[in-house]
Structure 1
């Protein structure tokens, strides 16, 4: 049982960290998405991401940084 917990706890921590990072990225681009991509907000993350990429020159510096950090 102890070995199981030692294997699972790091996995949970990694998942939590990735989730927190993703949430921060969403927060950085929320206003930009609402401003520039309102027509596609209900079409899923891929549609919003494509829209943000199309409007990249008009995005906030925080959103631009987040996109760059995530290879977009």
Structure 2
């Protein structure tokens, strides 16, 4: 009987740990090379700060809306990716 309670306790502890891990936000992978990300990081911070946690497509739309204000480096990233 003691072994049964030990097993149940261990199972419930491991289930709680898994549930806690699932609640933590997933770190989102971003598109583009590290160099491309670096080229646009300042522009994203400046013009798209409110939506930085959104999808890449949302950020891309924001950058496109602010196209005239982008740095040359970020603009070149968009051009080189057909945007």
Aligned length: 52
Q: Is residue 81 of structure 2 the alignment partner of residue 67 of structure 1?
A: no
Q: Is residue 33 of structure 2 the alignment partner of residue 22 of structure 1?
A: yes
Structure 1 length normalisation: TM-score? 0.68
Q: Which has the higher contact order (CA 8 A, sep 6+)?
A: 1
In structure 1, runs of 5+ residues without a counterpart are 1-20
Paired position in structure 2 for 1:55: 66
Larger radius of gyration: 2
In structure 2, runs of 5+ residues without a counterpart are 1-31
Superposed, which structure 2 residues align to 1:25-40 within 5 Å? 25-40=36-51
Q: Distance in 1 between matches of 2:76 and 2:57?
A: 18
Higher helix share: 1
